[in-house]
Structure 1
């Protein structure tokens, strides 16, 4: 039995439109994988298919078996809580399969630990409806983490966060993957954060996998020009990782093209 996530010719169609096309990749556990690509590349659709939320063709196997939706921690792109629940109540709902009608000391301790790790412990009794978008996003991430899934799928889970919190969350996710042996997939637009924190990157364009590898292998100047249609410089930071410096929209691209 092969460990990890195996995608074999995965395809998603909506009507006559192909959103994801014959996508194949092999991802090993204990790593944070950044899913990158321009708007409309198919990132959200691919992650939804892996999580079991979107019908697909082809094969998706986790540790040699079909993906069990109940065992996946999935956080879609548009996710919010409008019910009058406290932060702690929302967090404990992540363990509702185990809790039943009883909340034990271990559950409360686990919730307190995760809230503390995300700097949210002071918000435990606050209603979710009083939080900012970024605070809600972190609470919903904590709700997924408290279940300790071995396959964690996050669609732009840092989009509403400021830079400090983005870095903190990505550091936490990378540590979680290493500590638990989980595979964490996260769709992210910031190429420099992806390069800095992810163990590997998957670059998508028009529903297809363009490249998969380290940040140095994926974030090349030709790929950035071709896929993102921008002029850029690719520099190196002190650790040798690539740093993408955008200079402007390329002659081949336009704002209307990028929005599609």
Structure 2
């Protein structure tokens, strides 16, 4: 396995320091004649936007490593200002794509994992978020229900970000559950006394199953559709915007 440390180096002449880090490719877009801008979710440096030069050339082995659903060990020279950094090296650590890209449900779920991670990431590193992405991509390779893997990732990642759902006690008054209503704006389960207008009626077993996957536990797939509807409502309410990948999943 390639080194996962965030080692630093220097260009000849002692100019800008470089660093190495583990990373996932969030998205890419073409730049100049043969270059590509790569948006990386790194373990220790947060979200990084960098140029990989010459990777659009047909014989570029470098470019073949900078693809979605690949865990890579990258070398980066940071920008002098707030512009684009330069990605000068990438070694494959683990390739997750071969069992994801050929299956629409797994592919769209994996895209939603990456898009969610991008929205939750900041300039500083977040090893916990990185590990959650890694685990989700690993599970998606063999998942019978990819949507449950995605929902587990969303619930765990948002809890790590500080706005997890209350799925047993009332999110408003903390009255012990189980409860039969859910409200994303309030923060999860709500009791009859606190239930705001527009709350969704829900089987308490749905909330219990969400609690299980929020804590990384195995759960029955009986309530997949209901869980996904509530989980995405929670995510999109807190992000204050929809995700492109979730819209594609809904249209399928």
TM-score by length of 2: 0.28
Point out the structure with the larger strand share.
1
Q: Which has the higher contact order (CA 8 A, sep 6+)?
A: 1
TM-score by length of 1: 0.27
The structure whose Rg is larger is: 2
